[in-house]
């Protein structure tokens, strides 16, 4: 069975770059919508993934990469994990 995917994946990939980044951007935006962010399009889709994809297609949502510093992140080494676990219960 042949189905049309709208918007076409090729058009979305032109906007985002690769399928892995597309999946991340769609998931992140769907999560934001689920948590109460306003939709940026006027369509009445029920599925938040569909809303996210349409927002990307209509250039309402984009992304940017954050460059990490050259220095490695500092890690706390004086944390007592048992104390943390017991205090959170």
Taking a C-beta distance cutoff of 8 angstroms, is the pair 28, 48 a contact? no
Is residue 62 very low, low, confident or very high in pLDDT (cuts 50, 70, 90)? confident
pLDDT surpassing 60 at residue 64 = yes
1 in any annotated domain: no
2 in any annotated domain: no
What is the arithmetic mean of pLDDT over 60-86?
A: 65
Is residue 2 very low, low, confident or very high in pLDDT (cuts 50, 70, 90)? very low
68: three-class secondary structure by DSSP: coil
First to last CA, the chain: 52
Quote the tokens at residue 49: 């993934």
CATH number for the domain spanning 36: value is 3.90.940.10
Crossing angle of helices 19-34 and 48-57, rounded to 10° = 120
61 in any annotated domain: yes
What is residue 79's predicted lDDT score, i.e. its pLDDT? 56
65 in any annotated domain: yes
Domains in the chain, number: 1
Which domain range does residue 16 map to?
9-88
């Amino acid at each position: 069975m042949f189905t049309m995917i709208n918007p076409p994946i090729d058009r979305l990939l032109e906007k985002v770059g690769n399928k892995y980044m597309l999946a991340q951007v769609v998931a992140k935006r769907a999560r934001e919508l689920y948590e109460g962010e306003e939709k940026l399009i006027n369509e009445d889709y029920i599925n938040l993934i569909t809303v996210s994809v349409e927002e990307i297609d209509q250039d309402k949502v984009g992304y940017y990469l954050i460059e990490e510093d050259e220095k490695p992140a500092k890690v706390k080494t004086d944390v007592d994990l048992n104390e943390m676990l017991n205090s959170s219960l």
